[in-house]
Structures are given as C-alpha cells and as structure tokens.
Amino acid sequence: MIYTFQSKASGNVIYLEGPGRQVLAAMGKDSDAKGILKVAQMPAALAGLEAKAAQDDADRAEQKAKGMSLDGVSFRMRAAPMVAMVKTAQKADVDIVWGV
C-alpha cells in the first residue's frame, strides 16, 4: 500500500506502507487506507511526530554509543516531509487527507 497525503496548501507527500504506518501512528491516527487530519488535530499531530523523532534519536544515540551500526533512515528524516506539510496546512488553515 502507498499512502499519498494531500493538502490544498502544498504538494503531495507519499510514503510506502511501513513508513506511512509509522508516521500515522506518531500522529495518533489509524493506518486506514483513507483518512483526514483536521486543522484542530495538527498541534497534537506535530507533538506526536516530534516525540517519536526524539525517542528514535535517543535510541540511535544509544546504539551508536554501544558501537552498533546505524542502518536506515532516522524517523526524524523520514517524517520531515510530513512535518513540513502539517505546518504549511496548519498555517493555511486547511486539512490533510489521504486515500481519496
């Protein structure tokens, strides 16, 4: 499954299934094929994305301190397009939808 997030305030943001589910979970949303993020929900969504990114940063720092290799993309980097989209949509006072 591919998640395509759309907003009238910005271009689309596309995630493959795994990363899309992670981003949705961090925003407090179900990983349904269709959904909407209302403007009123955006502050909580941004807080959830930041909390997940901070936890991932801490986990990666701990792995690095133990000498473990850090494979893959950090959640912070993966979530950056969604964070930008949410901030832009919030400023423009428009919702974000996916699966429509």
Encode pLDDT of 50-66 as tens digits: 999 999 999 999 999 99
Q: List CB contacts of 51: < 8 A, sequence separation 6 or more.
A: 26
Helix axes 42-65, 17-26, angle to 10 degrees: 110
The pLDDT-based confidence of 70 (bands split at 50, 70, 90) is: confident
Domain of residue 33, residue span: 2-98
Q: What whole-number distance in Å separates Cα of residue 85 and Cα of residue 58?
A: 25
* pTM of the predicted protein model: 0.93
Nearest to 40 by CA among 79, 6, 89: 89
- Written as one letter, the residue type at 52 is K
Tally of structural domains, the chain:
1
Q: pLDDT tens digit string along 1-52?
A: 999 999 999 999 999 999 999 999 999 999 888 999 999 999 999 999 999 9
pLDDT of residue 76: 97
Q: How confident is the model at residue 69 (pLDDT cuts 50, 70, 90)?
A: confident
What number of other Cβ atoms are within 10 A of residue 65's Cβ?
Answer: 8
Q: Residue 1 corresponds to which amino acid? A: M
